[in-house]
Amino acid sequence: MDTVISSSASLCAVPVRTVASISGSASSAYVPLAHWSSRHRQSLFPQRRRGITTRLRNSSSSAVRQFTVTCGAGITEINESQFNDTVLKANRPVLVEFVANWCGPCRLITPAMESLAQEYKDRLTVVKIDHDANPRLIEEYKVYGLPTLILFKNGQEVPESRREGAITKVKLKEYLDALLESISVP
């Protein structure tokens, strides 16, 4: 068989080029993703990349990539029940990052947050709170944009510490240095 042809429009088509065929000539074809084995689909959509987990959900009409924000080294994900002990009763400053798995800017700053959590691990604690799973905290702290960063010290939000939206690693480092200096953390 020289080429694979399908009239199925169930999933996106992936270009395939055969190197050799029975007739000796090379040919090109588009093979619907549904015809690929799960091993080949996994190579096309890797399961884990830079703290972002991707899952392929198969439906009858399309393939949809779902993302889940995961915590890397130095960052702990907490929920409403852990917030009081982890953030409000902490002996040192706590940087809280409010995120959601559907939020592109949240995924964008994940590597920078993980890197800085490691760099500042002796000076502060970094925690991540899922927006969708913790509506009481979202309402209580009036989180309107994502990602939102808030620094807490001695159980209180540090004035002028709230930051919304994506931020580069350099700007994030400047932000943290200025905040830690303002609250006298060496």
Q: What is the pLDDT of residues 71-87, one digit of tens each?
A: 566 899 999 999 999 99
Lowest mean pLDDT among 9-13, 31-35, 108-112, 146-150: 9-13
The pLDDT of residue 47 is above 50:
no
Which residues are catalytic, by number? 103, 106
The pLDDT of residue 70 is above 80:
no
Supply the pTM of this predicted model.
0.63
Q: What is the pLDDT of residues 113-133, one digit of tens each?
A: 999 999 999 999 999 999 999
Identity of the residue numbered 77: E
Token digits of residue 28: 């090109």
